[in-house]
Amino acid sequence: MSSISIKDVETRLGHVKCATCKSNRFGIDNRTVKDDGEWKGICRDCFYTFPIHTDMEFYLRTQPDVPYRLREIACQACEKRGVSLDFRINMSVRESVYFVTCQSCHIQFTEQSSLEAFE
């Protein structure tokens, strides 16, 4: 089960840009926050909505390639490889973003995912 809070997700969404208006002010539609971990994010400026996936345990179990790739991602601060996946979003059909935490220095950053091609 997901342990990430709505507030954490909202804060971290500020690091990405809206697919349509390029704003970085997002909210979470509270009505979509359910146990299945499939939430909906909304741009506060143009009301564009996009899916937020927070059940990463399920995702990693069903996408066996992903854990290998997470081990290869280099931290932007300490440059060590290996991150944990906190949640991911699909900002647009082609643009998927991973929100990750470095396992060495615990800094949080985002990683554009090119894995969707394998799904």
Residue 59 binds to Zn ion (criterion: CB under 5 A): no
Smaller CB separation from Zn ion, 27 or 55: 27
Give me the residue label for tokens 């090119």. Answer: 114
Q: For 94, list phi and psi in degrees, rounded to 5.
A: -95, -15
With beta carbons less than 8 A apart as the criterion, state whether 64 and 72 touch.
no
Query: Per-residue x/- marks for Zn ion, 77-106, CB under 5 A?
Result: xx-----------------------x-xx-
Both tokens assigned to 47: 């009301």
The residue count for binding Zn ion (CB under 5 A) is 14
Q: How far is the CB of 23 from Zn ion (least distance, A)?
A: 5
The amino acid sitting at 18 is: C
3-state DSSP helix/strand/coil percent for the chain, to nearest 5?
25, 30, 45
Residues 17-36: x where in contact with Zn ion by CB under 5 A, - otherwise, as a string:
-x-xx-x-------------
Q: How far apart are CA 39 and CA 67, in angstroms?
A: 22
Smallest distance, Zn ion to C-beta of residue 21, A: 3
Shortest distance (Å) from residue 77 CB to Zn ion: 5
Residues lying near Zn ion in the complex (CB under 5 A) are found at 18, 20-21, 23, 43, 45-46, 48, 75, 77-78, 102, 104-105
